[in-house]
Structure formats: C-alpha cells, structure tokens
Structure 1
Amino acid sequence: MRAPLIAGNWKMNGSKRDARALLGGVAAGAASLQGAEVAVCPPFPYLALGEAELADSVVCLGAQDVSTESAGAYTGEVAAAMLAEFGCRYVICGHSERRDYHAESDTLIARKLQAVIANGMRPILCVGETLEQRERGETEAVIGAQLDGVLGVVGIETFADLELAYEPVWAIGTGKTATPAQAQQVHAFVRAKLGVSDRRIAQGVRILYGGSMKPGNAAELLAQPDIDGGLIGGASLDVDDFLAICRAAEAAAG
C-alpha cells in the first residue's frame, strides 16, 4: 500500500510573517492526520522558519530546487547538503517552471536527483506536457522522453528513492482542468513505463498529481488507483484548503 503524500509548493510567495502563520497552521491542523504524509516546500529564505515551526510536527519540510554542485563559485545556487542541514526531507526537481523558465534539461535534472539522494533526502521528480503537446496527442511521447532522459543517467534503481509528480502544465493556473480519468490515464502510463525496467520499483513509487488539486476535486482524484497524492500549488497557500486536501488523502488511505 502506497501511503499518500500531499506536498505544498509555495513557489515564490509569502512574507516572513505569512510563512510563520502558514507553517504553524498546517502543523497544528495536520497533527491528528493518520495514513497520509504531509510536506511543505517554502522559498529558500523561509527554510529556517520551517525547521523551527515544524520541529515537533508530523509535517515534513521540503525545498523547491537544488544545485547539482556540492560547493564552489555558483552564485545564487543552494547545495543539497545545505538543505539537509535545515532538516529538509524532500526536494522538488524538474518542476515545469524550472524546465520552462530556466531551460533545465533531463540530464541536469537527473544530476539534481543524485545530489539530493546522496544527501539523505528524497527528490520529487516532475514530468508533464504542455497544452500544445496534449492537443497534438504527444502526452505519452513527451513524458516518456522525460523519463528516459532521467533513466539514462541514473538508472531505474534510483526511482526506489524518489517520488514522481505528474504536472499537466496545461491545467496549472489556466482555468482548464484534467478530469480524474485523464489524470489516472497518465499516472498509469508512467507506472507502466517504469515497470518495463523494474515492475517492483514501479509498483512502489508514489506518483503525485500536480495539476491544480483543490478541496473540491481532491477526493475524486485521490480515489484513482495510480494517484498517490498531490503536489499542491495555489491551494497550499491557504491553511484551510491545504488541510482539506490532506484530509481527503487521509480518507483515501482508508
């Protein structure tokens, strides 16, 4: 049984005051959750707050990105060892916004996975297609290529030490939504794709849905057999909305 994971990606939002309130609210509200795991990924400047506010909480701390390098003259970069020092459990790698805005390649993303795992944390590897790619019927080809690009560098064994997140880029902040059936179809494809290399690892890996999961659609999405949680964007900035999704995950876990 794959226990669901709900991970909040705050992106570049909030103030120090907002972060403290949000961390405290999530920590308090998640205290009674059972059967589901919860994580929050604030911006880098608020990781120290996260470490402090979540110290005695069931909520895990995560980061939104990481450098491939361990140290050196890399202005603006943050090493995996630094994230581990702040108690991070998860690190998002290959988010669609990083791929798009920063031209991150599958090879670079694979190296980030290696850095995260080498420092005792778990990457959340993101894959997904744009609206144009979906409309051209290229969803599986695009996602398959993204997976192959990573597999070619790190091998299937690495997938036992990470989480996956399917991001339908066309359904993030656009007003368009993927139906639970559409989301399940892609999640099943991802699991089958990995299963060609190793069926046991494929069955064990958690695949999160990252396409604007909200309190109103969380239960139906999480009821799908291959959807093992959510990578939550906008709804993670509202304590009540985020906790409602967490409770939906708890219900789905039985």
Structure 2
Amino acid sequence: MRRKLVVGNWKMHGSLATNAELLAGIRAAEPFVCEAAVCVPFPYLSTCLLALQGSHIGLGAQDCSAHEQGAYTGEVSAAMLADVGCRYVIVGHSERRAYHGESDQLVADKAKMVIGKGLVPIVCVGETLAEREAGQTEAVVKRQLSAVIHTLGQCIPQAVVAYEPVWAIGTGKTATPEQAQEVHAVLRKQLAAATEHAGAMRILYGGSVKPDNAAALFAQPDIDGGLIGGASLKAADFVAICRAAL
C-alpha cells in the first residue's frame, strides 16, 4: 500500500512574513493521513525548517546542482541541502527544462546526486501541448524517465516521479483523472521493467491540482499524490488537497 504524498512547490513566491503565516495555517490542520512536504525557495529553507520543528511536514528544495562542489557561482549542491535539513529535492521541473535548457541527462545526473546525499529526488516528466496534440505524450515521458532509470540503476526505487503535463501548469487546465491515470500507468509499467519495486514507488500528478479536483485525481490507481503549485500558497487549499489524499 503506497502512502499518498502531497508536495507544495512554492516556486519563486514568499517572504518571511507570508511563509510564517502559511506554515502556521498548514500546521494547525495536522495530522494528515498523507505525507506532506513543502519545497521552498533557497533563501527560506532554514527559517522554514525552524517553523516546521515538531511537525510531520517535510522540507524540500526546488532544484540543485549536478556537481558536488566547486566554482559554480549561484548553484546550490545537494550536500548543502542535506546540511540545512531538506528531505526532498525537485529535479527536472518543466520550468527548469524550458527556461534553463535542462536536458534529460542533466536531470538524471541531479537525481543521482540527490540520492547520493541521502535525499529523495522528485523527478518531473511531462509533455507540452504541442507534443500531446501530436500524439507524442507516451514517447516524451518515457524518454525523460528512461534517462533517469539508466543513470540511477538499482537506486531508482529511491526516487519519486511526478507527471506534470506542461500544458496544465499554471494554465487552469487540468488533465482529466482518466488522462492522468493513463500516463501514470505508462510510467509504472516502465518502472516495472527496471525494478521489482515499482509497485512501491510513488508517482505524483502535478498540473493545476485544486481542492475541487484532488479527490478524483487521487482516486486513480496509479496516482499517489500531487506536486502542487499555486494551490500550495494558500493554507486552506493545501490542507484541503492533503485531506483529499486518503
């Protein structure tokens, strides 16, 4: 039985004051049946960790470097994230792939670095609207995941996978539960070909998840929670989504 996981991705939002208010609102609703975590901007990791002390909510970062250390100005290493108390690291988010030109192999290398430091990578895969309309969804997500499977090898069960159709991120559009399940099933089958532990791995859905559609999405057999964007910035919405993840 896979326990649901709901992860808030705050993206480039927040301040000391609003973060404190948001986390206080989420903590007031604990405990949750699901696991919950928040992935916050780098400058706020330490203060958010303090705000989460005594809580069961995990802390995560939104990216990391594929390098161990060195002359990489502006980069943040997985070791640094472990040092400040992170549990999760998002890698390969569509915005990183699109705006920063991250390749499938770079994403896989980041995932390997994250696991090597004892953290859990949340590996994002997903197709654009043009790719979906061209009937390329399965080929795209399998290509993206293949690089990760090949690079992680026997460590692949330590990763969380997140399917995020690019056309449904921040657009208000959402894949239907059936559309999302279809892709999740493809990913599960691909993982099953690589590891006997695929049935225990969690595959999250990300793409305009809201309180009013979360339960239907999470009821699908291969959807094990969500990677939540905009709705994670409102305590009431994030709490409602967590409560939908039974």
Counterpart of 1:127 in structure 2 is 125
Shift, 1:27, TM fit: 2.1
Structure 2 equivalent of residue 10 of structure 1: 10
Which residue is equivalent to 2:107? 109
Q: Deviations over 1:156-213 (max 9, x none)?
A: x222101000001111122322100000000001001111222x22111100000111
CA–CA separation in structure 1 for the residues paired with 2:193 and 2:155: 15
The aligned counterpart of 1:221 is 217
Distance 2:170 2:144 in 1: 22
Of 151, 156, 160, the match for 2:157: 160
Residue number in structure 1 paired with 2:172: 175
Give 1:194's aligned residue: 191
* Residues in 1 aligned to 2:31 and 2:105: alpha-carbon distance in whole angstroms: 40
Distance (Å, rounded) in 1 between the aligned partners of 2:136 and 2:203 = 20
DSSP-derived class of the 1:92 partner: strand
Partner SS for 1:7: strand
User: Which TM-score applies when normalising by structure 2?
Assistant: 0.97
Return the alpha-carbon distance in structure 1 between the equivalents of residues 198 and 217 of structure 2: 20
SS of residue in 1 equivalent to 2:79: helix
| AA matched with 1:32 | P
Q: Which runs of 5+ in 1 are unaligned?
A: none
Please report the RMSD computed on the Cα atoms of aligned residues, expressed in angstroms. 1.0
- The 1-side partners of 2:70 and 2:194 are apart by 36
Per-residue deviation at 1:152? 2.4
* Match of residue 65 from structure 2: 67
- State how far apart, in whole Å, the 2-side matches of 1:24 and 1:85 are: 24
Q: What is the distance in 2 between the residues matched to 1:90 and 1:14?
A: 19
Write the distance in 1 (CA, Å) between the matches of 2:194 and 2:46.
Answer: 39
**1:146 aligned residue:** 144
Sequence identity of aligned pairs in percent?
Answer: 59
Rounded Cα–Cα distance in structure 2 between residues aligned with 1:126 and 1:76: 22
Counterparts of 1:70-109 in structure 2, within 5 Å, are 70-109=68-107
Give the number of equivalent residue pairs.
246
- 1:53-64, aligned counterparts within 5 Å? 53-64=51-62
Q: Alignment partner for residue 246 of structure 1, among 236, 239, 242?
A: 242
**Structure 2: runs of 5+ lacking an equivalent:** none
> Which letter maps to 1:158?
C
Q: Would you say the 8 A contact 2:120–2:160 is kept in 1?
A: yes
- SS of the residue corresponding to residue 215 of structure 1 reads coil
SS of the residue 2:2 aligns to: coil
What's the CA shift for 1:93? 0.5
